[in-house]
Amino acid sequence: MNRRLLDVNPQYHAITTRLFLEDRDALPQEQGALDQRNELLAQLNQLRDLQLHALLAALAPLQRIRKQEAQRDSALRTDSQDRRLHDDAQAPADDTGDRPNSVAQAYQDAVELLETLQDSAAPCALIQQLQCLMHDYRTL
């Protein structure tokens, strides 16, 4: 898909420059080329968002750990609260599989993709959430 976008970009820029210089609307053929590029961009953005959401989901267990640590650090807990926190920490994982390895792989994927995701204009809030989860992983 990136290759197709690279192929379409010169034509897109030539058309938009011509339309600007001639101060006119696009002809049907020109509009088709513009629409094709816009559709490719939309598809790339959709794939990027799916990839980002998959990384966030894979790193989500780190949020649970952060919340548990924050609760442990809070002052004046009762014995029943301490037992509940201990039970939560010892609870089995919600999904099957080797969680530490899957989180480690998700972290590695996030490291490799972070710059690309930032450059692709991914939603800032999601990028920040990913960076927080990555920080949580490094501090484990």
Q: What integer is the mean pLDDT of 41-49?
A: 94
Q: Look at residue 1 in the predicted model and tell me its pLDDT.
A: 76
Q: Look at residue 92 in the predicted model and tell me its pLDDT.
A: 44
pTM > 0.75: no
pLDDT > 70: percent of the chain: 74
User: How much is the mean pLDDT over the chain?
Assistant: 83
> ∠ at Cα 16 (14, 17), nearest 5°?
65
The residue among 83 and 91 whose pLDDT is bigger is 83
The domain limits of the chain are 2-59+98-138, 62-91
Cα four-point dihedral sign 50, 2, 114, 93: positive
